[in-house]
A and B are shown apart, each in its own frame.
Chain A
Amino acid sequence: MSGLTGLPATEIRRRVAAREVSCEEVARAHLDRIAAVEPGIDAFLLVAPERAIEAARRVDEAVGSGGPAPPLAGVPVAVKDVLHVPGLPTTCGSRVLEGYRPPFAATAVARLQSAGAIVVGKTNMDEFAMGSSTENSAFKPTRNPWDRERVPGGSSGGSAAAVAARLAPIALGTDTGGSIRQPAAFCGVVGLKPTWGRVSRYGLVAFASSLDQAGPFARTVEDAALVCSVVFGPDPLDATSADEPVPDFADLPGGADGLRVGVPWAFLAEGVEAETMARFRESLGAFESAGATVVEVSLPHLPHAIATYYVVATAEASSNLARYDGVRYGRRAPGDHDLKRLYGKTRDLGFGAEVKRRIILGTFALSSGYYDAYYLRAQKVRALIRRDFDAAFGTCDVIATPTTPTPAFRLGEKTGDPLQMYLADIFTVPANLAGLPGVSLPCGLAHGLPVGLQLLARAFDEATLLRAGAAYQQVTPHHQLAPPA
Chain B
Amino acid sequence: MPRVTEETVEHVARLAHLSLTDEERRLFARQLEEILAWADSLQALDTSDVPPMSHPREAEALREDEPRDGLDRQAALEAAPEAADGLFRVPRVIAG
Contact = CB atoms under 8 A, between A and B. Distances in A.
Interface of A: 100-104, 195-197, 209-210, 236, 239-240, 242-243, 301, 303-304, 306-308, 310-311, 318, 322, 325-332, 336-345, 347-348, 351, 353, 356-357, 359-361, 363-364, 367, 370, 373-374, 376-384, 386, 418-419, 422, 434-435, 459
A379 B54 contact: yes
Interface string B57-83: 100111100000001100110111110
Interface of B: 2, 4, 8-9, 11-13, 15-20, 24, 27-28, 31-32, 34-36, 38-39, 41-43, 45, 47, 50-57, 60-63, 71-72, 75-76, 78-82, 88, 90-91, 93
B26 to A, nearest CB: 13
B32 A364 contact: yes
B53 A383 contact: yes
A382 B53 contact: yes
Name B's interface SS: loop
Contact of B56 (A301, A327, A370, A434): A434
Given A239-B62, A307-B41, A419-B34, A459 B18 contact: no
A348 B91 CA distance: 18
Nearest to B60: A240
20 contacts: A100-B79, A103-B78, A197-B57, A210-B56, A322-B17, A329-B79, A332-B81, A339-B93, A347-B19, A348-B19, A348-B20, A357-B31, A364-B4, A374-B39, A381-B45, A383-B53, A384-B45, A435-B56, A435-B57, A459-B56
B41 A304 contact: yes
Contacts of A326: 81
A325 B42 contact: no
A382 B53 CA distance: 6
A153 B1 CA distance: 34
B28 A386 contact: no
Nearest to A434: B56
A196 B43 contact: no
A327 B12 contact: no
A195 B91 CA distance: 44
A381 B42 contact: yes
Contacts of A380: 45, 47, 50-53
A339 B90 contact: yes
Contacts of B75: 103
B38 A307 contact: yes
A377 B82 CA distance: 42
A104 B93 CA distance: 31
Contacts of A304: 41-42, 45
B47 A377 contact: yes
A378 B54 CA distance: 10
A327 B35 contact: no
A484 B34 CA distance: 39
A307 B78 CA distance: 40
Contacts of B52: 376, 379-380, 382-383
**Which residue, A303, A322, A329, has most C-beta atoms of chain B within 10 A?**
A329
